[in-house]
Amino acid sequence: MSVGSIRNVSVVGAGLMGHGIAQEFLVAGYTVHLHDVSVERLAAARENIRKNLLMLAGLGLAPPGAAESFPGLLTTTTDIREAVAEADIVIEAAFEDLELKRDIFRSIDALAPAHAILASNSSSFMPGLMASATRRPGNVLVAHYFNPPYLLPLVEIVRHEKTSDETVNTVCGLLKGLGKTPVVVRKESPGFIGNRLQAALFREALSIVEHGIATPADVDTVIREGFGRRLGAAGVFEIWEIAGWDLILAICENLFPTLEPRTTPAPTLKEMVARGELGVKSGRGFYEWTPESVSALKTRIAATLTQIARARRTG
C-alpha cells in the first residue's frame, strides 16, 4: 500500500496518547475514527483536541480555524467494528497491558480491511507479540509516539522479523507527511531506543540519590540546566564526536567501573511504591505536590516544548 492510498485512519484508545495521535491526523486532513470503551472518554477526547488546537493555532503551530474544522473529520464510537471497518491504518493506543493489546489486535485483524496496516503505540512491548495475534503479521509494527505527540516529532517505528518493507516504508512516509520524524528500530528490543536511554539515565540518577551524592532536585537541575539543553540540539554521538573519542575513551575507562550496575529496580523505588508515594498522582514522590505546583510544572514543560517546536518550524 502506498502513502497516497491512505485516506481513513482509526485510533483505538482515546486517552492521553490516543487523542493526541488522532489530532495529528485531523490537522493533516485525514478522516479519523476514534474508539474507546465509554462515551465519556470519547467526549473528553473531543474536548481535549479542541483545546489543544486552539492553543496550537494561537501559537502558529496549527492552521487558523483548526479547532472549528476538525469535528467534520472525526467520528467517535464505542463500537470497534464501526471504528475500523473502513480503515487504511489502525493505531492502537490502549493501556500498556499485553493481553489487552493482543485482544485488540485479534479484533481489529478480524474487522479491518485486509489491506489495513495495524500499528501499536506501545512503549515497551515487542511488535511480534501483537503480530502473532493476527493473520497479517507483515502489516503489523509498533509506532511509538512520545508525549505530547503534537509537540514531540519523534516516532519510533519498530519492526519484527515478518514486518514487510512496504509496511515500514508506507508508515514512515505517512508520518513524514505529517511533519513527524520517524526512526526505524531495526531489531526488536525491550524499550526500543528512547526508553532504553531514559531507563539508563534514571538508574544512574537514582543511584546518585541513594548514595547521598546529590538530592533529587539537584540531579534534575544538572540535567535541566546542563547537558539536557545541549541534547535538544545534538545527540550524544554528535556531541562526543566534537569532544573526540580519545578523550571519551579516557573518561569511560575512569568512570564506567563506578556506574550503577544493578539489573533490578532499586529498593528505594520499591519502598516508595509500597508506601503509596507515586508522585503527582498521590501528591508525594521525591517531591511534594500540590495542584498549583503540578500546574506550574506542566506549564513549564509545555512552554519549553512549544518554543522548540516553533523554532523547528521557522528554522
Q: Is the pLDDT of residue 231 over 70?
A: yes
Tell me how many degrees the CA angle 257-261-265 measures, rounded to the nearest 5: 160
Which contiguous run of DSSP H or E holds residue 259? none
**63 phi and psi angles, rounded to 5 deg:** -60, 145
Which letter does DSSP use for residue 62 in this model? S
Query: Is 310 or 268 the better-scoring residue by pLDDT?
Result: 268
Which letter does DSSP use for residue 33 in this model? E
Q: What is the pLDDT of residue 103?
A: 98
Q: Is the pLDDT of residue 308 over 90?
A: no
**pLDDT digit string, tens, across residues 43-83:** 999 999 999 999 889 888 888 888 998 899 999 999 999 99
Q: Is the pLDDT of residue 209 over 70?
A: yes
Q: Is the peptide bond before 148 cis (omega within 30 degrees of 0)?
A: yes
Q: What is the pLDDT of residue 310?
A: 81
Query: Quick count: other Cβ atoms within 10 Å of Cβ 137?
Result: 21
- Assign 24 to helix, strand or coil: helix
Q: Which residue type does 73 have?
A: L
Residues sharing a CB contact under 8 Å with residue 12, sequence separation 6 or more, in sequence order: 18, 35, 36, 80, 83, 84, 90, 91, 92, 93, 94, 104, 108
Ramachandran quadrant class, 237 (left: phi over 0; alpha: psi -120 to 50; beta: rest) = alpha
Of 64, 26, 276, nearest to 149 by C-alpha is 26
- Distance separating alpha carbons of residues 210 and 220, to the nearest angstrom: 15
- Assign 276 to helix, strand or coil: coil
Cell 501528591: give the residue: 283
Q: What is the pLDDT of residue 314?
A: 66
Q: Which is it for strands 181-185 and 74-77: parallel, antiparallel or unpaired? A: unpaired
Going by pLDDT thresholds of 50, 70 and 90, the confidence category of residue 1 is: confident
Q: Give the mean pLDDT of 97-123.
A: 97
Asked if residue 6 lies in contact with residue 173, where contact means CB atoms within 8 angstroms, the answer is no
Mean pLDDT score of the chain: 95
Q: Is the pLDDT of residue 100 over 90?
A: yes
Q: What is the pLDDT of residue 315?
A: 60
Q: What is the pLDDT of residue 312?
A: 74
- Give the orientation angle of helix 194-210 with respect to helix 216-225, to 10 degrees: 140
The structure's pTM equals 0.92
Q: Give the mean pLDDT of 278-298.
A: 96
